[in-house]
Chains A and B, each alone.
Chain A
């Protein structure tokens, strides 16, 4: 699984994760109270410019936010129809600006940097005894490790269907896949405990 991080040396790359997240939060709260499209337009253009100058190929840059932009477009059309042009423009520019800023932050922050920040954010919860940051890291590693395994298993189940001339139905494909995958849990849990990963 390839992360959405893009190598580079832009100012946004150099700011710490925490600053970036606070920026995003502040932007989404402040922009919520701005209703004038004329004020929102320069902010939107600034966020879009920041995102598109990060060094991503234009096609991929659009591909990443395309789906969200499409949703915004549909909503803008609905708002235009119900509430008028001013409202529609304000809504589209406001959400668009936050989306571009968020996409820019995702593209300039490595997964490991995010994980470090999450570990820090989890500390209060860890002190209360609710979660353990190490468990979150372990779970993430397990997911990334097992997605290819599940895909391979899915391929085997499809082949088994084909060999027997059965039609590909979601039910007959997913049920055995889920059972086979979850049955691994005992073995994996035993292996983790045997190696003392969780220090229990």
Chain B
């Protein structure tokens, strides 16, 4: 790994921590404020790619484990990793990797803006929502003994907000690939 990759991983981990500190932003047309941190999965995968993105999230999980309050609302510590929602945290790492893999496959710098955004959106929905919920719900069902279907039903409430986040993340990723392309140079 080059020093530049190491620095990119660390800087993106810092951005993920920042996304947890920044106060939730209210969009004009929906009343619920959106928390930005779960958007980090989509952003990391689409912007710095599978390997570097998932390492950035692994770094954040490591910081949580050693007792730094880096998650939204100043949460952190082993209690988060021992709790019923730990599957979502692991889902972030795997989800970022999957998002990155799909984005690397689908998006080229030579493509038109529309195609790039569509590629990022697809990657964000599959990796950032699909994979994250898959692992999160599986762990939830395993720990609590609730059936998978019941755990799925409980999580569906959050899906519309996440689709919106995927849209914002893919537009942001498109802006970054225009301004400072990092995805094509794979780590």
Contact = CB atoms under 8 A, between A and B. Distances in A.
B180 to A, nearest CB: 5
Interface in B82-128: 82-85
Nearest to A63: B74
B134 interface: no
B68 A103 contact: no
A179 interface: yes
Given A106-B78, A139-B10, A68 B83 contact: yes
Interface residues of B, number: 63
Contact of B67 (A75, A106, A177, A189): A106
Contact of A143 (B13, B77, B79, B172): B13
Contacts of B77: 4, 64, 102-103, 106-107
A186 B11 CA distance: 11
Given A151-B21, A182-B12, A114 B66 contact: yes
A100 B36 CA distance: 28
A157 to B, nearest CB: 11
A149 B15 CA distance: 10
Contacts of A105: 78
Contacts of A109: 67
A98 interface: yes
A181 B15 contact: yes
B68 A1 contact: yes
Given A98-B82, A198-B3, A154 B67 contact: no
B156 interface: no
20 contacts: A3-B68, A4-B69, A64-B79, A67-B73, A75-B144, A78-B150, A95-B144, A99-B83, A102-B78, A106-B76, A107-B67, A111-B67, A140-B62, A174-B36, A178-B15, A178-B43, A182-B47, A185-B4, A185-B7, A188-B7
Interface of A: 1-5, 24, 28, 64-65, 67-68, 71-72, 75, 78-79, 82-83, 87, 91, 95, 98-103, 105-107, 109, 111, 114-115, 118, 135-136, 138-140, 142-144, 146-147, 149-151, 154, 167-171, 173-179, 181-186, 188-189, 192-193, 198, 200
Q: What 8 A-B pairs have minimum CB-CB distances, sorted nearest first? A: A106-B77, A142-B10, A102-B78, A114-B66, A175-B175, A102-B82, A103-B79, A68-B83
Given A106-B78, A150-B15, A151-B21, 6 more contacts: A118-B62, A139-B10, A170-B27, A182-B11, A182-B176, A198-B3
Interface of B: 1-4, 6-15, 17-18, 21-22, 25, 27-28, 34, 36, 43, 47-48, 59, 62-63, 65-70, 73, 75-85, 140, 143-147, 150, 154, 168, 171-172, 175-176, 179-180, 182
